[in-house]
Structures are given as C-alpha cells and as structure tokens.
Amino acid sequence: MDYSKITTLGELKQTGYQPRSVKQELRDNLIKNLKNKVNVFEGIWGFEETVIPDLERAILSMHDINFLGLRGQAKTRMARMMTKLLDEFVPVITGSDLNDDPLQPISRYGHDTINELGDATPISWMTRDERYSEKLATPDVSIADLIGDVDPIKAATLKLPYSDERVIHFGLIPRSHRGIFVINELPDLQARIQVALFNILQEGDIQIRGFKVRMPLDIQFVFTANPEDYTNRGSIVTPLKDRIGSQIITHYPKSIEVGRKITDQEANIKPEQKENVSINDLAKDLIEQIAFEARNSEYVDAKSGVSARLTISAYENLMSAAERRALLNGGKTAIRVSDFYGVIPSITGKVELVYEGEQEGPGIVAHNLVGKAIRTKFIEFFPDPEKIRKQKAPNPYKTITDWFGNENSIDILHDFSDAEYEKALNAVPGLPELVKNHQSKIDRSMKLFLMEFALHGLTEYSMLSKHQLSKGLQFKDLLSSMFSMPEPGEDLDDNAFQ
C-alpha cells in the first residue's frame, strides 16, 4: 500500500482499513514473527530460554508488563525493541495531539474535525518509532506531567472558560495513545502518582481535575523496576501491581560465553584500537570473570547488583590501556595481564559496597576482584597449586619460586616496550618452560601473556608476592616481602594486602 497517496478519511475508508488496539497489533505481529521464526529481540543474549519466552507470552496475553530486575539487565532495551512489533505506519487525524484514529477518534479535536469535514478530514501516517514514549520516574514527576492539567494560557488565548475541556493540556500518557508507554524505575514514582494510574490500566480512563472526560485510551504499558528500590527508595503500591498483567523477572548472564557476547556487542572499540591492539580469548574471559566475582563478593552489595556496564567499560579501558602503551612506544601491541590495572576505574564506580567493603575501600576491593578472577581462571591453564600442596605432588612451579626465593625480583612496567616486556619475563628461570609444558600450541603474544598470567596466578595462591609500583608491578618472593619495607615507588597499602 502506498501510504503517501492516502491523505483523507474518505480515501482511507476505501482501502478497507479497520482499527486495531495496540495490544492486538502487537499480538498479531508477534504471531506472524513466531510462525516465520523471526526474532525481533535479536542481540538480547542470555534471555533466549527465560525472559524472552515470558515476554512473548505476555504479549500474546495482551498484558501490561513490568520488567523486574537489577540494574544493567537490558530491561529498557527490551521495551524499546517492542516497537518492532508495531505496524510500520498507522493513520492519524492530522493535527491531533492524541494520535486520534480517523475511524475511532477519542479527543474533542478529533470529533469536531470529522463532524466539520467528514470524508475530507486530512490524515497523516505515524511511524512505529513515533509511537514509543518513555519517562524516567523521579520523585518530582507530577500528575500534570503524566496525565494533564488545565492550561490557563490556552484558556486565555482561545478565550475559553475553565469549564470547557479544550483548556486541558494533556500529559505524556494521553499523548501516547495508540502506542507503547514506558515508565522506568516505577518504585521511584510517588505513591499518590501511582494511584493515578489505576483507572488508566484497568479501564483506560483518565481524570483531570473536575472534568467529566472519558477517553478510552489505547496504550501498551511497560514498566521497569529494580527490587532494591522496594526497600531503599520506594515501592510499587499493591493495587498497581495487581493491575499489571505480567511481571517478568530478568537476570544477569549465566555464563562467561553469554557475557562475552554482550560485551563484544556493546563495547565501543575504535577501529584504530582493533588495528593496533590484539586481544586474546583469556583476556576477554577475565573481564567477564571480574563481574562474576563481584556478584559473589562478600564486599559487594548483592541486592544492588553488578551491571553489565561494568564489563563493557572494563573492556574499553583494557583496550585503551594497551593502546596508550602502543602510542608511547610506536607500533602495535598485545594485551598484557598488567593492563588489567587500567580497568580499576571501571570497577570502583560500578559496585555498591557493603560495610566491610567500605572499610576496605573501593580501590582495594577492585584490585581483589581482579585478583580473584585471575585465581579462578588460573587452574584452567596450569596445575592447581592447592592440590599440589595437599597431594604432595611434584611441584611444577619450584624452579620459579626458588629463583624468587634467592632474593631475585622482576619489574613489569606499564609502558614497557614489547622487547622490554619479553626480556623481563624470560629472565625468570622455569617460566617459559612452564607455559610450554602446559600450553604448547600458542603464538608468541599468547605465550608472553600466559607467562605473566602465571606470575599473577602464583601470587594469588600465595607462592609469590606482588607489589604495585608507581609505574607498574614488582614480583618478589613471598617470605622476603613479609620482612621488608616497601622500596621507593611502592605503595604501602597495596604492599600490605597483596
């Protein structure tokens, strides 16, 4: 159908157009997509067997929806993607504030225009994106913002008495008629404002001051809420929850693989970064593991959650840490384990700490999370030091630890060139052999990464000590570091907790 040629109500009637409610429209289009195996929620990873089927069932049931979940769980994104289930275009009476359907007008303007012009009533076509509205619930949101109020300027301009309904200025909800309306962080909405939504959800009616205005609004409501809000800032009043057809619980990625898909998709990695910095799969896994460790950490508030934005920002910072080194040294470089100290700023602002965490401090907690991620992944590449101790098995790390035990140490500085980096790692007897014996089929950059990774892993298993310098890291024997003061350039606090 060529919508541009249909410009009047009479022409629209000739096409056989029949009005549909927005919920019916969503349902019909979802049915078509399911039959044709089309996934409109493409790019929402990890919800394929849980959240998305729940959402599809809610749409088929023609329910209003509440997404309940911790921050960074794609709640708003899914709400915005629901527009793909709307028709590409729908007709509206030209000039209508409330998107009046030409065959089912609800506003005074719509009725008056059709009564005056009949089949000559001009119509326009709304795109699906124009039918989406969103409001962040904040304590200062008023009933006038959402529903409407009397506009004295409008009354004066049109010379109308306040008893005339044409003096009403409609809020966001009536202006979202025939579309999707989203309220983010619903519990932050004051209880008295939530009460004002009762009639709209149940009967589709609105009340504005003393006016007898009955408007059968046609809206697909979608709400988002964080369970933490129920105790910290507010709550969803029970009668409102009762009127929301489906409450869908979201969750974080349940595996490293799913987390990596999300991070790869969302991270803003520049083309020149991809060209100048190479990154291996283990480094990507470590980024995701940091988030898993944070979600299980005794120092992090589990009720607050750990957003997927942490891993996205951490990945971006990791690439930038290596890019900075490449720019300083010229040429290209590969990700190093020491680059993970560049992701600390991505962690400290994205985790809510419990009392014990506040006592430790966000910086130390962030360092600990990186360390725990390294410890968890270490045993996937090298023998478990704990098992070696318990079983008194041959120790593959003895050559390395003995060398450090003879008062040797190495520095890994952040700005080391690739040649300096390789020379420092090769200076540790037994380290190249360790990697060769347990991970032989790897390229040169991965070999160097695993050599440094082994040193970090041995510190996490208390076989070596690691100290933060102003320009990098220093690895030493564990026992000797306990009886020595930090050297110039070392940080006393980091020395204490490593």
Tell me how far the alpha carbon of residue 302 is from its chain's centroid.
16
pLDDT, position 441: 86
Tokens 């044409």 found at: 166
Q: Regarding the domain delimited by 3-249, which CATH topology (the fold level of the hierarchy) does it fall under? A: Rossmann fold (3.40.50)
CA dist., res. 253 & res. 25, Å (int): 31
Domain boundaries, the chain: 3-249, 253-378, 383-498
Asked if residues 324 and 318 have their Cβ atoms less than 8 Å apart, the reply is no
pLDDT, position 303: 84
Helix (H, G, I), strand (E, B) or coil at 149: strand
* 404 residue type, one letter: F
Q: Quick one: which of 89, 156, 151 has its CA closest to 123?
A: 89
pLDDT, position 487: 47
**Token pair in block for residue 366:** 């962030």
pLDDT, position 496: 39
CATH 1.20.950 fits 253-378, yes or no: no
CA dist., res. 73 & res. 182, Å (int): 16
Q: Looking at the chain, how many residues does it have?
A: 498
The DSSP output letter for 169 is E
pLDDT, position 160: 72
Question: Cα-flanking dihedrals φ and ψ of residue 247, to 5°?
Answer: -110, 115
Which regions in the chain score pLDDT beneath 50?
231-232, 485-498
CA dist., res. 30 & res. 464, Å (int): 58
The DSSP line for 227-251 is TTHHHHT----HHHHHH-SEEEE--
pLDDT, position 358: 87
Side-chain-side CA neighbours of 109 within 13 Å: the count stands at 16
The DSSP output letter for 487 is P
Asked if residues 216 and 175 have their Cβ atoms less than 8 Å apart, the reply is no
Helix (H, G, I), strand (E, B) or coil at 472: strand
pTM: 0.86
Instruction: Return the number of other C-beta atoms located less than 10 Å from residue 104's C-beta.
Output: 12
